[in-house]
Chain A
């Protein structure tokens, strides 16, 4: 257990812009300790937040005022891999990529692959219903979770689902995934694994501008092709990536598309030709194909390090996670550049284009007075626009603290009240992650506002 203020500092934030200092952080070693911690906190009326790796981008892991965190870094064992049923049973602190790497030894893989997969935990993935590039073809976390053991707010344990795909009764396991830590704490998780594909082919489509790249996305999907992954990376992001690593992206491109095809070689072969012609027809200046693992990994490396690379442009970022029908991408990206101009904020775009999930990344230096507020105002305008376009606030990062005030853009009071009926069944006292997701409820204004150190904008340590 951790309770010294200096030690608690690192638990004060996650990947988002919000802050909240926990009273203490408990690091249980097993399910029983999780259950006992919850039971004690329940008796004492202390709110609890689960914490995986703290890579969440919506403030999900932050402790409520006066609350504690339960961190799963010690519960990181892969308990079982069942090759016959193609399942794995793990503890919640297991890192996404560690699971995938482990099961690949058995010719299988864990499909959901958030770009943060080197760091994020399966418990966090379940809470947020994490997605990733390959979720275009294989679905998000919810399509891969078979069963969970869950500790409820009072410490009682319950099994949701089993090793079977179909389970009787209300689909509690389905509604638990994506409940952002408000229903219970997952202490043991069984996931589905997929066999490795026979053939994988990765394409880099190089485009002079965003508009032509967007029309390529529509053309590919319009051809009746659903690739395994279809990602877009804009000019600014290309430059940021190439600053830190050589992913082989042409630095003068307006945008690149990363497209991956998987399947039987006959399928991949046939679809490849259609993808290539769709790219050329929509104005690609170059199309590169990678079949060797090492080449493919290099192309993906750029995509997966982009967010880290933004640090070379500005020290802070705020990521919008809006999702729109994919035919609206061109319009929405035009809006993104309007917003960038209007608020004077640099915005980079690296995102899951195939399923319409944008990630406009507002880059700024929070020591510049007023800039954070401008970034947030721009983000709000973008979210509103996504909803206007028939879309939604978040495709994969969750609502948490930072988007909760925008929920009324999408849902009526009645819709939200209905959602709360489910929370009230799992956690009647609302002790887990209170005040998140819905606009009412606890406020997370930090008790203590620390003044940022005086460093000139542009400099950073």
Chain B
């Protein structure tokens, strides 16, 4: 195996020295990279991919690196492909409610452009000033508003992906409704970069309307809060997003939590003023009827600020949790899952009873020290058992590499027959095994 400097020299001679960045300190899950390449344009990206396919060089695409801890431990990282250079907006048509953009653009930059035409793209991401559209699509990331936004797949209408021969294949287009050919938008969204490099995507947009507000309603217990929130979310006046957070998470979010409460329900509300205030009033009423002693209303700036903090919480570099698990399951089972989970000291929950998602986040208290590997694996196992009993699945989203070495991120979450089709898809798309190998479901 060539040493890193020789490897980087070889690479420079192919893609030009400007595109090759210092690999010092660059890693994927602490596996050091031999080189970092930042293609300046699609042509250069295509060359890197052709070379990688020919020489069996493993590529690890990266947008802003915000969600890059997601995935199984890579065996060997040859090249981190930094895609932040592909950041042009190709076409924005406010009147058609569509946008086409290169994938390396950050969500914040895209939002800034869209606001000019009074539109927004219903995507969420932690640290939107760094997270890229490509990263959001590859991970299929969804945030606290997923109840009304759905998933990134629901807004992606066209996609262009550089495949193993370096050329781009397109699917979909720039129209909001389209059944011309297979819907590969769905396949690439959430495929964690294992089928190719997402270069460009088109989205359906929504008009910006009215204002945002939020309601923070404390509850004596998290189970009570989940039940009340579940009842609210099925009403016609349901908020756009509804999360229940355990007491310690609420504290981390900087919320004032009354001494005797175990959880807080957070309702995020938007819309035209009259409808928004009705949603707010009815939500408050319904949550009180469900056992809350009464909540606090947050105005637009406090609400959007809280929303950002909640979205960022598991992904803040300076305060990364020791462990973050995401459970996805049928919405009505969220309460049972929350009741079944035994949490170690320092662990908390964020539950979304409208969509069917529960995040377990664990910051072990300093006096306890780093948890043992076995104890951590046991916790993951028990979450898996509970999820499976309730028709759900677990993804280990944040986890120290030493523990990941013994835990598959998605273990047992996909049936064998389904996995076999996934294996064939991976083989057909990436015969040389160069795109993010080893990181996805079933170590694809």
Given A197-B236, A394-B180, A416-B181, A169-B441 contact (CB < 8 Å)? yes
Say whether B415 contacts A159, CB under 8 Å: yes
Interface check B261, CB cutoff 8 A: no
Given A169-B410, A270-B272, A323-B177, A421-B422 contact (CB < 8 Å)? no
A414 to B237, CA, bound (A): 47
B326-344 to A contact mask, C-beta < 8 Å, 1/0: 0011111000000000000
B346-382 with Cβ < 8 A to chain A: 355-357
A16 to B175, CA, bound (A): 24
Give the residue name and chain of the B residue nearest to A222 (CB).
B95
Interface check B6, CB cutoff 8 A: no
Say whether A158 contacts B428, CB under 8 Å: no
Say whether B93 contacts A422, CB under 8 Å: no
A182-225 with Cβ < 8 A to chain B: 195-198, 218, 221-222, 224-225
A152-171 to B contact mask, C-beta < 8 Å, 1/0: 00001111101111111111
Give the residue name and chain of the A residue nearest to B391 (CB).
A163
**How near does chain B come to A325, taking the closest CB pair, in angstroms?**
4
Interface check A178, CB cutoff 8 A: yes
Q: Which residues of A contact B355 (CB under 8 A)?
A: 165-166
Interface check B26, CB cutoff 8 A: no
Interface check B191, CB cutoff 8 A: yes
B248-285 to A contact mask, C-beta < 8 Å, 1/0: 00000000000000000000000110110011000000
A390 to B189, CA, bound (A): 23
Interface check A407, CB cutoff 8 A: yes
Say whether B356 contacts A165, CB under 8 Å: yes
Given A169-B442, A266-B278, A392-B173, A437-B190 contact (CB < 8 Å)? no
Q: Which residues of A contact B169 (CB under 8 A)?
A: 412, 414-415, 417-418
Interface check B127, CB cutoff 8 A: no
Say whether A84 contacts B332, CB under 8 Å: yes
A101-153 with Cβ < 8 A to chain B: 128-129, 131, 135, 139-140, 142-143
Interface check B86, CB cutoff 8 A: no
Q: Which residues of B contact A224 (CB under 8 A)?
A: 118, 207-209
Q: Which residues of A contact B208 (CB under 8 A)?
A: 224
Say whether B272 contacts A266, CB under 8 Å: yes
Q: Which residues of B contact A410 (CB under 8 A)?
A: 173, 180-181
Say whether A392 contacts B428, CB under 8 Å: no
Q: Which residues of A contact B95 (CB under 8 A)?
A: 218, 221-222, 326-327
Say whether B184 contacts A140, CB under 8 Å: no
Give the residue name and chain of the B residue nearest to A163 (CB).
B330
**How near does chain A come to B217, taking the closest CB pair, in angstroms?**
20
Given A171-B186, A264-B279, A407-B171 contact (CB < 8 Å)? no
A418-437 to B contact mask, C-beta < 8 Å, 1/0: 11011111101000000001
Say whether A174 contacts B187, CB under 8 Å: yes
Q: Which residues of A contact B235 (CB under 8 A)?
A: 195
Say whether A174 contacts B328, CB under 8 Å: no
Given A166-B142, A357-B177, A195-B415 contact (CB < 8 Å)? no
A128 to B191, CA, bound (A): 23
Interface check A226, CB cutoff 8 A: yes
B379-418 to A contact mask, C-beta < 8 Å, 1/0: 0000000000001110100000000000000100111011
Say whether B410 contacts A168, CB under 8 Å: yes
Say whether B177 contacts A177, CB under 8 Å: no
Say whether B175 contacts A325, CB under 8 Å: yes
**How near does chain A come to B274, taking the closest CB pair, in angstroms?**
4
**How near does chain B come to A42, taking the closest CB pair, in angstroms?**
16
Select A128's contact among B179, B181, B237, B419, beta carbons within 8 Å: B179
Interface check B163, CB cutoff 8 A: yes
Give the residue name and chain of the B residue nearest to A162 (CB).
B391
Q: Which residues of A contact B118 (CB under 8 A)?
A: 224
**How near does chain A come to B252, taking the closest CB pair, in angstroms?**
24
Q: Which residues of B contact A415 (CB under 8 A)?
A: 169-171, 181
Interface-facing stretch out of B12-20, B147-155, B290-298, B309-317 = B147-155
Interface check B129, CB cutoff 8 A: no
Give the residue name and chain of the B residue nearest to A197 (CB).
B236
Say whether B177 contacts A396, CB under 8 Å: yes
A356 to B151, CA, bound (A): 23
Say whether B183 contacts A175, CB under 8 Å: yes
Q: Which residues of A contact B417 (CB under 8 A)?
A: 156-159
Give the residue name and chain of the B residue nearest to A174 (CB).
B186
Give the residue name and chain of the A residue nearest to B418 (CB).
A158
B139-171 with Cβ < 8 A to chain A: 140, 142, 146, 150-151, 153-154, 161, 163, 167-171
> Interface centre among B168, B169, B332, by most A CB within 10 Å?
B169
Q: Which residues of B contact A128 (CB under 8 A)?
A: 179
Give the residue name and chain of the A residue nearest to B410 (CB).
A168
Say whether B391 contacts A177, CB under 8 Å: no
**How near does chain B come to A162, taking the closest CB pair, in angstroms?**
6
Interface check A3, CB cutoff 8 A: no
A170 to B140, CA, bound (A): 10
> Interface centre among A198, A266, A419, by most B CB within 10 Å?
A266
Q: Which residues of A contact B174 (CB under 8 A)?
A: 325, 390
Say whether B329 contacts A164, CB under 8 Å: yes
Say whether A131 contacts B175, CB under 8 Å: no
**How near does chain B come to A126, taking the closest CB pair, in angstroms?**
12
Q: Which residues of B contact A169 (CB under 8 A)?
A: 410, 413-414, 418-419, 422, 440-442
Select A397's contact among B179, B234, B331, beta carbons within 8 Å: B179
Given A174-B186, A324-B175, A270-B274 contact (CB < 8 Å)? yes
Select A395's contact among B168, B178, B183, B357, beta carbons within 8 Å: B178
Say whether B184 contacts A419, CB under 8 Å: yes
Say whether B184 contacts A264, CB under 8 Å: no
Closest 5 CB pairs of A and B: A174-B186, A224-B207, A425-B424, A418-B169, A84-B332
Q: Which residues of A contact B (CB under 8 A)?
A: 82, 84-87, 128-129, 131, 135, 139-140, 142-143, 156-160, 162-172, 174-175, 177-179, 195-198, 218, 221-222, 224-226, 263-264, 266-267, 269-271, 323-327, 352, 355-357, 390-399, 407, 410-412, 414-419, 421-426, 428, 437
A-B residue pairs in contact (CB < 8 Å), sample of 21: A129-B183, A139-B154, A156-B417, A164-B328, A166-B140, A166-B357, A168-B328, A178-B183, A225-B207, A263-B275, A264-B237, A325-B174, A355-B177, A390-B173, A392-B175, A399-B179, A407-B180, A412-B169, A416-B181, A428-B424, A437-B182
Q: Which residues of B contact A (CB under 8 A)?
A: 93, 95-98, 118, 140, 142, 146, 150-151, 153-154, 161, 163, 167-171, 173-187, 189-191, 206-209, 234-237, 271-272, 274-275, 278-279, 328-332, 355-357, 391-393, 395, 410, 413-415, 417-419, 421-422, 424-425, 428-429, 440-442
Beyond the given pairs A170-B191, A270-B274, A414-B168, 8 more chain A to chain B contacts, judged by CB atoms under 8 angstroms and listed by A's residue number, are A84-B332, A158-B415, A158-B421, A266-B275, A327-B95, A392-B180, A418-B184, A425-B421
